[in-house]
Amino acid sequence: MKLFHSSTSPYVRKVMACAIAREIERQIELVPTNPHESPAELLASNPLSKVPCLITDDGLALFDSPVICEYLDSLDGAVSLYPRTAGGRWKALKYQALADGIMDAAVLRRMEAQRPEDPARQAVIARQGAVVQRSLDELEKDPPHRVLDIGTISVACALGYLDLRFPADDWRRDHPALATWFAAISREPALARTAPPAA
């Protein structure tokens, strides 16, 4: 398999954490990619020009981290990262959706912050910041469990991205239960080995 990869992408981190947790990371060749440059090799596989994009061994191009993570989970090997009980599965998928929303808002906020100053841009940044804040408040009320699954991996990757791109925001200050959870889950090898590089 081949994965179009960016070391700072929280979505790529999520995919690689799933691969490590399932002990199949050695089957994946990483292709460093800047999706903002829309390289021809990436566009040939993913018209959205986004990472991650996985090329399976039979040549199928898969994109969007939820799709890729579910594909990796379907391969023979370790225990599934998608809980089998109905209650556990839906809670894990809820956490994944909430975490993906945090990542979407944080990435957009980061991109807008790099554009020229104007009121419309500031409104977008404020709106996305509020999305992140509300989501953190929700997670503080009901922190994920400490079992590695698609939900806990997704939330950890979202929080790691906030640390990377918005260290001054100090999300831990108002979210002590979530901070305690994050410190513990971050010691899992799949998350420790995929921690983003220093900004």
> Domain containing 53 — which CATH number?
3.40.30.10
Structural domain includes residue 35: yes
Say if residue 68 is in the same domain as residue 91: no
- What mean pLDDT is predicted for residues 93-110? 97
pLDDT tens per residue, range 104-150: 999 999 999 988 888 999 999 999 999 999 999 999 999 999 999 99
Total structural domains in the chain? 2
Structural domain includes residue 81: no
Asked if residue 14 lies in contact with residue 69, where contact means CB atoms within 8 angstroms, the answer is yes
Structural domain includes residue 198: no
- Average per-residue pLDDT for the chain: 95
Residue ranges making up the domain that contains 179: 86-188
Structural domain includes residue 197: no
pLDDT tens per residue, range 7-31: 999 999 999 999 999 999 999 999 9
Residue 90 has pLDDT above 90, yes or no: yes
- What mean pLDDT is predicted for residues 27-50? 96
Domain with 171 in it: what CATH number?
A: 1.20.1050.10
Q: How high is the pLDDT of residue 199?
A: 56
Say if residue 90 is in the same domain as residue 184: yes
Say if residue 117 is in the same domain as residue 42: no
Q: How high is the pLDDT of residue 117?
A: 86
Alpha carbons 16 and 32: distance in angstroms, whole number: 13
Following DSSP, what letter does each residue of 154-175 receive, concatenated? HHHHHHHHHHHH-GGG-TTTT-
Say if residue 66 is in the same domain as residue 90: no
Say if residue 61 is in the same domain as residue 111: no
Say if residue 104 is in the same domain as residue 28: no
Asked if residue 13 lies in contact with residue 70, where contact means CB atoms within 8 angstroms, the answer is no
Say if residue 59 is in the same domain as residue 107: no
Say if residue 107 is in the same domain as residue 20: no
Say if residue 157 is in the same domain as residue 110: yes
Give the number of residues written for the chain: 199
Strands 29-32, 2-5: pairing is parallel
Of the chain, the end-to-end C-alpha distance in Å amounts to 29
Say if residue 131 is in the same domain as residue 170: yes
Say if residue 98 is in the same domain as residue 65: no
Q: How high is the pLDDT of residue 196?
A: 87
Q: What is the largest CA-CA distance in the chain?
A: 51
Q: How high is the pLDDT of residue 154?
A: 98
Say if residue 38 is in the same domain as residue 112: no
Task: Give the amino acid at 151.
Answer: G
| pTM of the shown model | 0.94
Cα–Cα distance list, 120 to 99, 107, 113, 148 (Å): 26, 17, 12, 40
Structural domain includes residue 179: yes
